[in-house]
Each structure stands twice: as structure tokens, then as C-alpha cells.
């Protein structure tokens, strides 16, 4: 028996707004856009996707699951995401980490790692 990863589900106060923010941040496309559910994917026929659904409850603690992204240029990517509406977040990092912790417009944390060193 095998499993195929279909999508990651994100609860949101504003699923449409958050989905469109992540689609722009990732360069993905919206493949379903309903009032209470919006799905984005890397391309219409490529999985996994991210499904944003409605959850009006307030988030009160740090996420237990968060994505890490590795850009070619960490400083430029952090600046671009901050311009899109991300914010810097302190989750207890010491300041020596090679990653930057950000949050999307609804406060969901994610990390921008340093570029991968080749060779």
C-alpha cells in the first residue's frame, strides 16, 4: 500500500486572503476558489497542494508544524516576503541561527533558511 501526499490543510480566519498571499509568496496557482475553501498548487496538475479552510478561532500558541524554505538569496527573499506582508517572529531563537523566522499575515510561522552550499 502506498500513500500520495494530496495537500496540507491550513485553518484560517480568511482562507481566500491567506491562500492568495501564499500563492503569491510561493509563485503557485489557485486551483479552487470557494468562499470557505481555497486550494493552491505549484501548477494545476502538480501535488501536493495547500488547502485553506475556515476556522474563526484565534491561534494562541506557536505552530507545531511549520514549513522551511531554502532560497538562493536569503536576505532578498526575507525582504520580498516582508514587503508582501510577512512579519518577523521570535520563537525563542538565540540569534545565531542560519535561518530567519517569519509569519504569514495570520501569524503562521515559517523559516527562510540560508542558501544551500554546494561543493
Integer Cα distance of 112 and 30 in angstroms: 23
Residue 118 has pLDDT above 70, yes or no: no
Q: Are strands 68-69 and 109-113 parallel, antiparallel or unpaired?
A: parallel
CATH 3.40.190.10 is held by the domain 66-119: no
What pTM value is reported for the model?
0.87
Q: What is the pLDDT of residue 2?
A: 85
> In the block, which residue shows the cell 488547502?
51
Q: What is the pLDDT of residues 48-58, one digit of tens each?
A: 999 999 987 77
Residue 64 carries which DSSP code?
Answer: S
> What percent of the chain clears pLDDT 90, i.e. is strictly above it?
74
- CATH topology for 1-54 is 3.30.720
Q: Name residues whose C-beta falls within 8 Å of residue 74's C-beta, 6 or more positions apart in sequence.
A: 100, 112, 113, 114, 115
Integer Cα distance of 113 and 63 in angstroms: 18
Where do the structural domains in the chain lie, given as residue ranges?
1-54, 66-119
Amino acid at each position: 500500500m502506498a500513500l500520495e501526499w494530496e495537500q496540507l490543510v491550513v485553518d484560517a480566519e480568511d482562507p481566500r486572503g491567506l491562500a492568495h498571499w501564499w500563492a503569491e509568496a510561493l509563485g503557485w496557482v489557485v486551483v479552487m476558489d470557494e468562499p470557505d475553501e481555497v486550494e493552491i498548487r505549484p501548477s494545476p496538475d502538480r501535488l501536493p497542494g495547500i488547502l485553506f479552510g475556515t476556522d474563526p478561532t484565534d491561534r494562541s500558541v506557536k505552530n507545531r508544524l511549520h514549513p522551511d524554505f531554502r532560497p538562493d538569496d536569503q536576505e532578498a527573499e526575507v525582504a520580498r516576503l516582508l514587503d508582501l506582508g510577512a512579519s518577523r517572529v521570535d520563537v525563542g531563537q538565540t540569534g545565531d541561527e542560519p535561518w530567519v523566522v517569519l509569519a504569514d499575515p495570520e501569524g503562521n510561522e515559517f523559516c527562510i533558511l540560508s542558501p544551500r552550499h554546494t561543493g
